[in-house]
Chain A
Amino acid sequence: MRLTDKQIDRIADSLLSALLKEGGATLKSQRGEVIARIGGVIRENLKREEALDREARTLLEAHLKNAGGDVDEHKLLVMIKKKLAEEKDFPL
């Protein structure tokens, strides 16, 4: 999933608003700082997924080089990605 910085900030802002309005939370710092922290968590999570994607593609290419054959590469890529995510305890 790719989101721009602006979109991530928008999500972070909405999450904070919901926390304050409905979640019974109170700010202990500047609103901007809290939004930045939430955005950071989301960015980090998306970066992990991107890294997982890259690793899965590398493994797929290695597999295709060695095994070849008529396989559905996309399905295989999804399977590899799922397997890697399980190993790394990263929910997709």
Chain B
Amino acid sequence: MKFSEQRISHLSHLILDGLWRDDLIDYEDEARALTVLKQTLTRLVSVDARQPRMADSLRQVLSRGDGEAFVMSRLFALCLVGALLACTPAGKVERREAFQPRPEREDLYVLPFTRVMVPWELNETIFDRFVDNLNDSALPEDYAFTILKRSPKDIDPQWLGEQYYISGEIFGFRQESGCCSTLLQLTGRVRFHQPGQDQATFIAEYPAEIFFDHDDSSLEIERQKLAAEIADRLSRQLLDALLGT
């Protein structure tokens, strides 16, 4: 969320009045000072104050004309930061002893994912993409992932207990926006259930996060990217487990 025009105006007034009241500054022309404050604040909050961009840092290094060793050391530091920023959360995969890869049956059912404090469109994207990934997978063609379009409570538990099925949850949504950038976090978890087992025999969990500049992208695009990342990761992990790879 960027500062609104009203907020910038409000803050500018607070600063102007505060400095004058505390006798810290004199204004030749109060209206002019206020305009400058508003303009400067607008400029500052539309440039990311939190994350100096790597390209800018690089430009600064190169424009200094310092020695090669210094430039190389700065480049190394920048690359290191880049690598650290590129690290994705590891996630968790748990295979219980009873887990059996390569299910013998053709039909594998997928229950709609539950969501906890997560915008519905994110859940929808994750679920649809997850199921598409499974169906487009490298599994033998005779496997079919069928969506059970009913809430779990409407499904006969005895029947369900005799099936291979997948359930999932989407949770831990966090969206923290500043003037110029946003951090998005979301976690997905899938469980694979086998006939005759009380508990899931395979669980994969993946917490994903995205940080982006408002100048570079939009919330809608990045939310979809986050959803796709979770769907791709979870479907890959489940497929790897099912294929025994």
Beyond A27-B25, A72-B119, A72-B120, whether A45 also contacts B11 by CB under 8 A is yes
Do the beta carbons of A34 and B19 come within 8 Å of each other?
yes
Q: Is B15 an interface residue (CB 8 A)?
A: yes
- In this complex, what residue of A is CB-closest to B48? A7
A92 proximity list for chain B (CB < 8 A): 1, 4, 6-7
Specify the chain A residue showing the minimal Cβ separation from B7: A91
B37 CB to closest chain A CB (Å) equals 6
Mark out the residues of chain A between 23 and 40 whose CB falls within 8 Å of any chain B CB in the assembled complex. Answer: 23-29, 33-34, 37-38, 40
Please tell me if A88 contacts chain B, counting CB pairs below 8 Å: no
Contact of B179 among A1, A23, A25 (CB under 8 A): A1
In the bound complex, what is the Cα–Cα distance between A42 and B3 (angstroms)? 12
Are the CB atoms of A23 and B37 closer together than 8 Å?
A: yes
Q: Does A11 contact B (CB under 8 A)?
A: yes
Q: How far is the CB of A68 from chain B (nearest CB, A)?
A: 12
B window 103-126: CB within 8 A of A: 117-120
CA distance A1 to B35 in the complex (A): 23
| B76 located at the interface, meaning its Cβ lies under 8 Å from any Cβ of chain A in the complex | no
Which chain B residue has the least Cβ–Cβ distance from A81?
B1
Task: Verify B6–A91 contact, CB threshold 8 A.
Answer: yes
A33 CA to B19 CA in the complex, in Å?
Answer: 10
A65 adjacent to chain B (CB < 8 Å): no
Let me know if B41 is at the binding interface, CB within 8 A.
Answer: yes
- A19-B20 Cα distance, complex, nearest whole Å: 13
CB interface residues, B 6-52, toward A, < 8 Å: 6-7, 9-11, 14-15, 18-19, 22-29, 32-33, 35-37, 39-41, 44, 49-50
Q: Is the CB of A3 within 8 A of B178?
A: yes
Q: Nearest CB to that of B21 among chain A residues?
A: A37
- B118 in contact with A34 (CB, 8 Å): no
Of residues A3, A25, A92, which shows the largest number of chain B Cβ atoms within 10 Å of its Cβ? A25
* Chain A residues touching B, majority SS: helix
Cβ–Cβ contact A28 & B24, under 8 A: yes
Instruction: Contacts A18-B40, A19-B33, A41-B18 given; indicate if A3 touches B120 (C-beta within 8 A).
Output: no
- Complex-state Cα separation, A33 to B39, whole angstroms: 23
Question: B39's closest neighbor in chain A, by CB?
Answer: A18
Name B9's closest neighbour in chain A (CB-CB). Answer: A91
Q: How far is the CA of A91 from the CA of B41 in the complex (A)?
A: 15
CB-nearest residue of chain B to A10: B49
With A and B bound together, what is the CA distance between A7 and B50 in angstroms? 7
Task: Give me 27 A-to-B residue pairs in the complex whose CB atoms sit less than 8 angstroms apart, sorted by A's number.
Answer: A2-B50, A3-B178, A4-B50, A11-B49, A15-B41, A18-B37, A19-B36, A22-B36, A23-B35, A23-B37, A24-B27, A24-B29, A24-B32, A24-B33, A25-B27, A26-B25, A26-B26, A29-B23, A29-B24, A37-B22, A41-B14, A41-B15, A45-B7, A64-B117, A72-B120, A92-B4, A92-B7
Q: 7 extra interchain contacts, Cβ-Cβ under 8 A, other than A11-B44, A26-B26, A45-B10? A: A2-B176, A2-B178, A27-B24, A37-B18, A41-B11, A74-B175, A91-B9
Ordered nearest first, which 3 A-B pairs have the shortest CB separation? Answer: A24-B28, A23-B36, A91-B6
